[in-house]
Amino acid sequence: MKTIDELLSEGVTGKRVFVRADLNVPLDGTTITDDGRIRAVVPTVKALADAGARVIVASHLGRPKGAPDPAFSLGPAAARLGELLGADVAFAEDTVGISAEATVSGLSDGRVAVIENLRFNAGETSKDESERAAFADKLAGLADVYVGDGFGAVHRKHASVFDLPKRLPHYAGYLIATEVGVLKKLTDDVKRPYVVALGGAKVSDKLAVIDQLLGKADRLLIGGGMAYTFLRAKGYEVGISLLQEDQLPAVKEYIERAEKNGVGLVLPVDVLVSSEFPDLRTKAPANPTTVAADAIPADQEGLDIGPETRKLYASKLADAATVFWNGPMGVFEHPDYAEGTKAVAQALVDAPGFTVVGGGDSAAAVRTLGFDENAFGHISTGGGASLEYLEGKTLPGLAALED
């Protein structure tokens, strides 16, 4: 794929450059609680603006129903982007309507605008190709050039990600180029030992990537809610812990294949349990109990890996030359259940090799728990996109940029 550096070498002064970013940040009302994805696109936007382009930044946010919804407005993200750029950023109150056209027409060289949430238009996410194409045609009318830099959305076959690049000269922004380079280090040029830590709630979300990794990774560390399906597959009582019984046959097969392939599939040896899920709003003390992984009481729920598991996982990461981590080890949003996730993050910091935090909740946890982002080799902006790449899938947004 052609990169933004090639575009800049051709000259962009006066050109309208459409940057498909990922400004899908978490909001508490109108307050951004994690601006990592906005900061990630700043190098691309700044380079284009400094070179004299008229930059049109577009993104989705949340899951509105194909119509305007004030709860999902990109207004706060546009304001934060302006703060990070140290420049005024214009904001269009629609996607391809009167406001967007006027805002883009009013841009002078080197200025930046953000248009409203792309998902306020049903054509963005439509499965009807003609509806997506019609929306992409309107977006194309706003610009002369397309730069894809929203890595968190490249696994979606959406109008602004897949259809729009086909209508304009297209280039990969700095973020996408970096993300793809990192993922190639996890697939094509892997230094060993290669250790993967997977957490999160549902094992069903990770089955495909586990299937791939059983032939590539040296060790797989399993935590989070998904661990209880693995523990149940080994015949353990898991109480009222999160359990996907329909996935037990697949998980049992993975446990057997890991042993056959010589992959170290490492499960918790102890867990923190409680009879109640913690209050994440007030963060009132939860007073969990630590029990062995094969001794979870029938009326208790596992909510984090225990202290012995933390030590075990740290030891399995200590000599890693390559690490990929996706998914928290427990309910990290509550301080009583954050230590497992914190221990894995610290083990990545201490590991001698190349460490990748695979976006999503893992990236949020790193920031929430106060880690220096520069202590990791790379923090991805796209958890779902990273996983699908590792699964070996073709990502529509990357395929469109490669054409």
CB atoms within 10 A of CB 50: 12
Mean predicted confidence (pLDDT) in 198-202: 92
Of residues 311 and 358, which shows the higher confidence score?
A: 311
At 365, which helix (H) or strand (E)?
helix 360-368
CA-CA distances (angstroms) from residue 109 to 13, 221, 274? 7, 50, 59
Four-CA torsion 269, 273, 277, 283, nearest 10 degrees: -90
Q: Is 360 a catalytic residue?
A: yes
Please give the pLDDT value at position 277.
95
**Which member of 15, 20, 37, 132 is catalytic?**
37
- Whether the domain at 4-175 and the domain at 182-380 fall into the same CATH topology: yes
The tens digit of pLDDT for each residue in 282-302 reads 999 999 999 999 999 999 999
182-380: CATH topology is: Rossmann fold (3.40.50)
Please give the pLDDT value at position 45.
98
Please give the pLDDT value at position 230.
97
Mean predicted confidence (pLDDT) in 302-317: 98
Please give the pLDDT value at position 360.
80
Residue 70 burial by Cβ neighbours in a 10 Å radius (0-12, 13-18, 19+): exposed
Prior bond of 193 cis (ω within 30°): yes
Please give the pLDDT value at position 364.
87
The tens digit of pLDDT for each residue in 247-273 reads 999 999 999 999 999 999 999 999 999
Would you give the DSSP letter of residue 302? E
**Which member of 173, 360, 382, 397 is catalytic?**
360
The tens digit of pLDDT for each residue in 59-69 reads 999 999 999 99
| pLDDT bracket for residue 189 (50, 70, 90) | confident
User: Where in the chain are the domains?
Assistant: 4-175, 182-380
pTM: 0.91
Contact by Cβ (8 Å): 41, 173: yes
Please give the pLDDT value at position 257.
96
CB atoms within 10 A of CB 251: 21
CB atoms within 10 A of CB 359: 24
Q: Residues at the annotated binding site?
A: 22-24, 37, 60-63, 119, 156, 206, 302, 333, 359-362
CB atoms within 10 A of CB 5: 13
**Which member of 150, 223, 384, 397 is catalytic?**
384
Mean pLDDT check: name the lowest of 102-106, 155-159, 200-204: 200-204
One-letter amino acid of 14: G
4-175: CATH topology is: Rossmann fold (3.40.50)
* Angle 149-382-202 from CA coordinates, rounded to 5°: 160
Please give the pLDDT value at position 253.
97
Report the alpha-carbon distance of residue 261 to residue 14 in Å, rounded.
57
**Which member of 39, 80, 185, 202 is catalytic?**
202
Q: Is 181 a catalytic residue?
A: no
What average pLDDT does the structure give for the chain? Answer: 96
For residue 359, pLDDT beyond 80: no
Please give the pLDDT value at position 383.
86
| pLDDT bracket for residue 326 (50, 70, 90) | very high
Would you give the DSSP letter of residue 161? I
Please give the pLDDT value at position 389.
92
| pLDDT bracket for residue 47 (50, 70, 90) | very high
Q: Is 384 a catalytic residue?
A: yes
| pLDDT bracket for residue 394 (50, 70, 90) | very high
Mean predicted confidence (pLDDT) in 380-392: 91
Mean pLDDT check: name the lowest of 122-126, 222-226, 314-318, 356-360: 356-360
Q: Residues at the annotated binding site for (2R)-3-phosphoglycerate?
A: 37, 119, 156
Q: What 3-state DSSP class applies to 206?
A: coil
